[in-house]
């Protein structure tokens, strides 16, 4: 019902609103944002971002170091390979390339390659053994050390065969493999590192004595800063003066500029558009959106995952297998009467082939890439274990208001009850309601605007106390009133459509022209257009979709029918939401909860995976495992898809990293030696290094589909 105050032109609609029980305050829009990812270690710098830059420099130094060692060793390897008797025989140059003392030359150059090129692996051996966790570096170091010391002993009098050319080529291949690995890791880190560099160094501080530039680190709460067109916003704050569009794509993944005006929040690092704005600083340092995401990503990367533990156990197991099979190979060939040089060659080859170097990279690099992708797209992972669990979800429970719906009234139905069409009915209603500030009135006016309807200016606006409002529009007396007014005026409604929308729990107002009933308008909390697509995609993935709301059963049923939900739970009080999640879990289902309000926090915590939408409250965000920057249900789908794709890449990488050992180790040990098939240490190094390269490339091919509002949105690690 409308209760108009003529001075202030405000409505009081006395109808039971479909927003009533779940209205939420979406004002505290805290955006946390993003950082850097690495292959086994994760680092994030904020508070001036010094640590992050240092870490990136560290990776750059490691890349440069491996590159330098590789090129030096490659040049030194040429004479070693040229002086190798086996190579000379293959090339038919045995006589022309031999000279007295050539073995000592080989020894001298191989010694440089062993200590200079092999140093990273020798150092790694001592680190791993010191920690009691022998792994990939142990295997590499043992393999090259065995080849070097045995060959050196042969040069100085022990009977046997030298392995210098196999040694230097093995080191070359291992160095180039590490070089590529570190570049891949740094590439994953760099994507997020760019975000750290988004923050400008200086800001235009507005003071009583004018505007002057100060370091961003000197800004305090309440300071006012001027942001000129095209400049980056220096820190999080609220617009005091001006209207502009802001490009937040590097922060939130939202491709289109966002319109901002007085009172709207802006994010530090976003790019101001066409107009100058004055911003009041609300957050500084570690409080800012960017810093929060950096910290969030750091914690996510530091959190141990089950898949990572599996990879580590597999690496240790493979190390034990390699050393054991290597020892068995040596003993077996000696017992079969083969000379020590042959037996040793097989042993060295086994250890090189089995080296789990790529295995150590298989999972961490995928984690780094997926974390970078998710953060860059506004899908913020706070707990990696929960994120991994998202791939196996059986059901996703959505809150209604503000999540599946927009949290505001909108026109859902226009029902002609006379000779007027829908457009005319809405035009007349919008003309009257344009004088009101009530949410229902705002919904009518907004719906008219969305249809490009420009309502005429009413004359003689007057409130009908407790019942509605009236005015003259284009010479006709128009009333927009409640059902109560019709009852008092004894106006009969004979329409099944009106009964239907009323049964759905929608708010209904009636339009009268010269006291003649011409139409009805039904309003409800507007369903997000994105919700339908999100639910369709989830159901196609085999996930049950449910809704949990405190709203009336009729409203919940209507939303459920509109969206095709599998189940709906209505009239659930805030303190009952967690119990309802428990009840669903008791069916044996793995459940995710998605919500945005304080009343959703217990349910977010109870669920196997808690997903908070970014337009929600800080409490909801703190209770969640994953935070969605946008209030877009399609991002829930993107999380599930990314979790599944991430796990798929991990499994693929584990197979690429270790699966080839199933046939390679027996071949290296010489099980087919009787038919002339033997793998050399050098070829073993090629196979192992190839698996490393494949693992790196495969991780970088990870993709996530996220609609940016224009119908596209495929992002990856590139």
Residues assigned a catalytic role: 399
Residue 9, φ and ψ in degrees, nearest 5: 55, 50
Q: Residue 149: CB partners within 8 Å, gap ≥ 6? A: none
Q: Is 461 helix (H, G, I), strand (E, B) or coil?
A: strand
H-helix or E-strand spanning residue 689: helix 681-700
The helix/strand/coil state of 718 is coil
Q: Are 36 and 52 in contact (CB under 8 A)?
A: yes
State how beta strands 609-613 and 626-628 pair.
parallel
Q: Cβ contacts of residue 554 below 8 Å, gap of 6+?
A: 503, 504, 505
468 touches 489 (CB < 8 A): no
Which tokens is 7 given? 């001075």
Main-chain phi, psi angles of 709, to 5 degrees: 100, -15
Selection from 239, 227, 233, 219 nearest residue 280 by Cα: 239
Instruction: Return d(Cα 456, Cα 471) in angstroms, integer.
Output: 11
d(CA 689, CA 681): 12
For tokens 């095709």, the residue is 564
What angle, 0 to 180 degrees and rounded to 10, lies between the N-to-C axes of helices 136-155 and 306-335?
A: 30
Q: 């399609």: which residue's tokens?
A: 634
Q: At what angle do helices 136-155 and 119-130 cross, to 10 degrees?
A: 120
User: Please, which residues bridge with residue 215 across strands?
Assistant: 202
Please state whether 564 falls in left (phi above 0), alpha (psi between -120 and 50) or beta: left
């Amino acid at each position: 019902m409308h209760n108009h105050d003529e001075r202030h032109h405000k409505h009081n609609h006395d109808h039971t609103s479909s927003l009533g029980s779940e209205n939420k305050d979406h004002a505290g829009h805290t955006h946390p944002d993003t950082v850097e990812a690495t292959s086994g270690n994760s680092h994030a710098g904020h508070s001036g971002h010094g640590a992050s830059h240092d870490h990136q420099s560290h990776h750059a130094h490691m890349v440069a170091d491996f590159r330098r060692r590789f090129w030096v060793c490659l040049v030194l390897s040429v004479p070693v390979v040229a002086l190798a008797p086996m190579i000379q025989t293959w090339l038919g140059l045995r006589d022309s390339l031999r000279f007295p003392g050539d073995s000592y030359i080989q020894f001298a150059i191989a010694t440089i390659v062993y200590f200079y090129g092999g140093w990273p692996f020798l150092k790694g051996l001592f680190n791993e053994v010191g920690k009691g966790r022998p792994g990939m570096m142990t295997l590499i170091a043992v393999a090259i050390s065995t080849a070097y010391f045995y060959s050196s002993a042969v040069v100085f009098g022990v009977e046997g065969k030298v392995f210098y050319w196999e040694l230097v080529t093995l080191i070359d291949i291992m160095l180039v493999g590490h070089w590529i690995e570190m570049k891949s890791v740094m590439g994953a880190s760099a994507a997020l590192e760019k975000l750290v560099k988004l923050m400008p160094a200086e800001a235009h501080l507005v003071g009583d004595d004018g505007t002057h530039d100060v370091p961003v680190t000197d800004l305090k709460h309440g300071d006012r800063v001027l942001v000129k067109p095209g400049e980056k916003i220096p820190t999080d704050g609220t617009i005091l003066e001006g209207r502009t569009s802001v490009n937040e794509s590097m922060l939130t993944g939202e491709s289109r500029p966002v319109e901002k005006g007085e009172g709207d929040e802006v994010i530090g690092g976003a790019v101001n558009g066409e107009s100058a704005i004055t911003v009041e600083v609300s957050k500084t340092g570690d409080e800012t959106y960017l810093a929060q995401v950096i910290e969030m990503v750091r914690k996510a990367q530091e959190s141990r995952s089950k898949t990572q533990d599996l990879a580590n156990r597999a690496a240790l197991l493979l190390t034990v297998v390699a050393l054991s099979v290597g020892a068995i190979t040596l003993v077996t060939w000696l017992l079969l009467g083969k000379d020590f040089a042959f037996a040793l060659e097989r042993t060295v080859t086994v250890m090189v082939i089995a080296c789990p170097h790529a295995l150590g990279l298989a999972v961490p690099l995928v984690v780094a890439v997926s974390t970078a992708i998710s953060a860059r797209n506004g899908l913020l992972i706070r707990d990696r274990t929960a994120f991994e669990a998202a791939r196996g979800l059986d059901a996703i429970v959505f809150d209604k208001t503000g999540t599946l719906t927009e949290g505001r009234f909108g026109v859902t139905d226009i029902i002609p009850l006379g000779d007027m069409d829908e457009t005319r009915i809405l035009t007349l209603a919008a003309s009257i309601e344009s004088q009101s500030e009530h949410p229902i009135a705002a919904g009518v006016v907004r719906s008219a605007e969305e249809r490009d309807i420009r309502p005429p200016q009413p004359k003689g606006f007057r409130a009908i106390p407790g019942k509605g409002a009236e005015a003259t529009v284009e010479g006709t007396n128009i009333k927009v009133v409640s059902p109560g007014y019709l009852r008092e005026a004894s106006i009969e409604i004979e329409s099944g459509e009106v009964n239907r929308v009323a049964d759905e729990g929608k708010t209904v107002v009636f339009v009268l022209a010269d006291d003649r009933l011409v139409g009805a308008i039904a309003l409800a909390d507007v369903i997000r257009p994105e919700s339908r697509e999100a639910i369709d995609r989830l159901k196609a993935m085999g996930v049950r979709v449910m809704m949990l709301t405190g709203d009336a059963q009729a409203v919940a049923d209507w939303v459920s029918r509109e969206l095709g939900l599998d189940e709906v739970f209505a009239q659930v009080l805030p303190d009952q939401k967690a119990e309802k999640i428990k009840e669903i879990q008791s069916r044996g289902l793995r459940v995710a909860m998605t919500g945005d309000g304080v009343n959703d926090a217990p349910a977010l915590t109870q669920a196997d995976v808690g997903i908070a939408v970014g337009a929600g409250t800080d409490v909801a965000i703190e209770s969640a495992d994953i935070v969605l920057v946008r209030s877009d249900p399609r991002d829930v789908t993107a999380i599930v898809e990314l979790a599944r794709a991430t796990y798929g890449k991990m499994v693929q990488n584990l197979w690429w990293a270790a699966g080839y050992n199933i046939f390679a180790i027996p071949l290296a040990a010489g099980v087919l030696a009787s038919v002339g098939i033997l793998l050399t240490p050098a070829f073993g190094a090629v196979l192992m290094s190839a698996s490393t390269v494949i693992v790196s490339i495969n991780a970088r091919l990870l993709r996530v589909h996220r609609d940016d509002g224009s119908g596209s949105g495929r992002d990856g690690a590139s």
